Every structure is written in structure tokens, then in C-alpha cells.
Structure 1
Amino acid sequence: MVIKILGSGCMNCKKLEANVRKAIEEMGIDARVEKVTDFKDIASYGVMRTPALVVDEQVKLMGKVPSIGELKKYLI
């Protein structure tokens, strides 16, 4: 599984990354987490609000930082 965090590197982007890493650790998922900060790359996903979460090339959410528990439903 490849999980991408799309965003400029702001505080919310960092929080989303931390929550994603904690969720995959708790779930025992083998996943690679990547950060995407280039705005052209972010726009290529159709994302207009960051941070955004992409799981296996599918945009799962944008513009918010869900809790670790909420994130788990996107990672199943």
C-alpha cells in the first residue's frame, strides 16, 4: 500500500502524516508513506484543499485532519 500526504508542509499536513503513521502502526499495515509538496503534483489529483490523503492513487479526503480512529476506515 502506498499512502501519500499532499500538502505544503504546514502544521496540518504534519499532523495528518503523524496520524497516518500511528494508524498504520496500530493496524499492522505494511505501507509506504510519501509526502507530496509540489503544487503541480497535488493539482494532478484534483485536490484544491490540503492536506489531502491519497491511498493507492485514490483521493480519500482533503482539507481536514481526521483522528487516528477515523483514518483507519480509509486504510482498510
Structure 2
Amino acid sequence: MIVKVLGSGCKNCNILEENVKEALKQLDFEATVEKVTDFKSIAEHGVMKTPGLVVDGTVVSTGKVLKVEEIKKLLKS
């Protein structure tokens, strides 16, 4: 599993990244977590509002900081 956090490196992007790592830990899932800060790469995903969250190439969230429980639900589906 590859999980990407898209954003400029702002506070909300950092919080989302930490929440993703915590969700993966709680689920005992192995995944690569990548932080994407390049605006061209972010735009290529079609994300116009950050932070964005991409799981295995699919954009699952944009423009909000998901809580750990919300991320767990997305990762399990």
C-alpha cells in the first residue's frame, strides 16, 4: 500500500501525515507513506485544496484534516 499526503508542508498537512501514520499503526498495516510537496505533482493528482490524501493512486480526501478513525475507515475499504 502506498499512501501519499499532498500539501505544502503546512501545519494541517503535517497533522494529516501524523494521523495517517497512527491509523496505519493501529490497523497494523504495512504501507509506504510519502509526503508530496511539489505543486505540479499535487495538481497532477487533480487536488486543488490541500491537504490531500491518496491511497494506492486514488484520491480519497482533499481540503481537510481527517481524524485517525476516518483514515482507518478509508484504509479498510
* TM-score bracket, shorter-length normalisation: over 0.9
Opposite residue 45 of structure 1, the aligned amino acid is: H
How many equivalent residue pairs?
Answer: 76
Other-structure match for 1:59 = 59
Give unmatched runs, 5+ long, in structure 2. none
In structure 1, the residue corresponding to 2:30 is in which secondary structure? coil
Aligned identity (percent) is 55
Letter in 1 for 2:53: L
* TM-score normalised by length of structure 1: 0.98
Deviation at 1:66, TM superposition (A): 1.3
Q: Verify: 1:43 aligned to 2:64, yes or no.
A: no
Name segments (4+ residues, structure 1) moved above 3 Å. Answer: none
C-alpha RMSD over aligned residues: 0.4
Please give the alpha-carbon distance, in whole angstroms, between the structure 1 residues aligned to 2:72 and 2:2: 14
